[in-house]
Amino acid sequence: MQLPAQATYVVIGAGVHGLSTAWHLAKELRTRGLGSGEDIIVLDKTGVAGGASGIACGVVRNNYFQPAMRELMAHSVSVWESDPEAFSYHPVGYMQISPEVMHDDVVQIYKEQQAIGYPSTLVEGERESREYMRNIFYDWQAENITSVLHEHRGGYANNVASIRALAAKAQAEGVQIHTGVQVTGLHLEDGAVGAVETDQGTVHCKRLVVGAGPWIRDVWKMLDLPEKITVKGSDGELHHDRDMWTYWSLREGVLGVEPSFLTDNDGEMPPVIHVDTDAPLYDESSELVTDEIWGIYYKPDFYFSGVQGGSTPYVVDQPADEVAVDPYGPESPDFVVGEDFARMWTSALAHCHKRFEGKSYLFSKEPSGGIGCFTPDNFPIFDVFRQNAYVIADSNHGYKMIGVGALVAKELLDEPQELLEPFRYARYETGQLHPTSHSPFPWS
């Protein structure tokens, strides 16, 4: 399919954000009599689901300490639920299992979930938490757990299948998706984006939507936006020369057992499990792995052919220029999960369930994980730059935020969305940052 010389809307990225925005925008144009999907083209340098969205672990949750994130995720869960078959979505629920240091945070999350009508169950106390978990898993044995927050909505989805479903929905509305097209630059005319340069020609446009996932920094440079910024803390302190983008290694993997190995006491698929604890963690040789707070998440997953999950990420040591070229390509130094993660994750599984004891040798050696691109406060940016470039910078929350595209589509048609207001770029200057929790994960 030949690249057109012009389009009203050009969307960069055929992942969850780019395709969701294109699909919803096409529907809005048709419904309002303002045009159709034929006014929209999507560009991707590889293919549909070729980047972060295509290797995401697929967890869908509402569990956030930040009220704005919680409301945004509740909206996104509703989009997942709108067509679970097409999106290959499994509404098994989600569980946050935590130590005493996180107790107050979890209670606050529960109360605010009730306030927005998001169904969940809170269990408090060490004995009560253990009993609740053993009613689900007979072999539950995690230590130092004093609260369980069980979300009854949420779950997980097949990464590639769900993104392909978004592509099909967009194409059904007339959207053109051009794959194998590398964006090489932007024409800035009178302070606005007038055209998108690619390795296959130039496309003139009226509006640009950037949904490039971990490649956001490259387009940020093309928009001539700052690589370093000053961030005003919530306490009023100014933090100068903060990197606009930081890259983290995302550590995920698969234990090669039958997914049915982790069914619940009734033989059914259990909720997605997330465990944080400050109990010392030991490996199969009784050697200490860590005595600091640690966290893992996991689920049985037929798409990954085993029990799949991950643990806390870490900042990539080398300069971002070296890893941002292709965060999901074989040249990425952290594309193949290291032995340190395998030791930690399999030890953590055994800490939680007796059934995983002695199973570390089944850890898959296949490439997994990837590189995530994070904002200065680790939360998304949804905002307009250079007059007509709408930037979706998800800070590694992307896959589960399938509903953001519906909100962005309305904003592209001059209908501001309250759910997106807390995620404007100006918050760094004003100090209206999102609160931080006691979780070991930077995105919670």
| Pairwise CA distance, residues 439 & 229, whole Å | 26
Give per-residue pLDDT as tens, 40-91: 999 999 999 988 888 888 899 998 888 899 999 999 999 999 999 999 999 9
The pTM for the full model equals 0.93
Quick one: pLDDT band at residue 442, thresholds 50, 70, 90?
low
At residue 336, the pLDDT reads: 44
Give per-residue pLDDT as tens, 86-128: 999 999 999 999 999 999 999 999 999 999 999 999 999 999 9
Mind listing the domains of the chain with CATH numbers?
1-89+155-226+378-430 (3.50.50.60), 94-152+246-374 (3.30.9.10)
| Pairwise CA distance, residues 141 & 353, whole Å | 6
Q: Which amino acid is at 373?
A: C
Other Cβ atoms less than 10 A from the Cβ of 44: the count is 26
Degrees, nearest 5: CA angle 42-40-409: 95
Lowest-confidence segment of 134-143, 176-185, 309-318, 339-348 by average pLDDT: 309-318
Q: Which amino acid is at 349?
A: L
Lowest-confidence segment of 240-249, 329-338, 341-350, 393-402 by average pLDDT: 329-338
At residue 223, the pLDDT reads: 97
Q: Quick one: what percent of the chain has pLDDT higher than 90?
A: 77
CA-closest candidate to residue 64, choices 100, 112, 103:
112
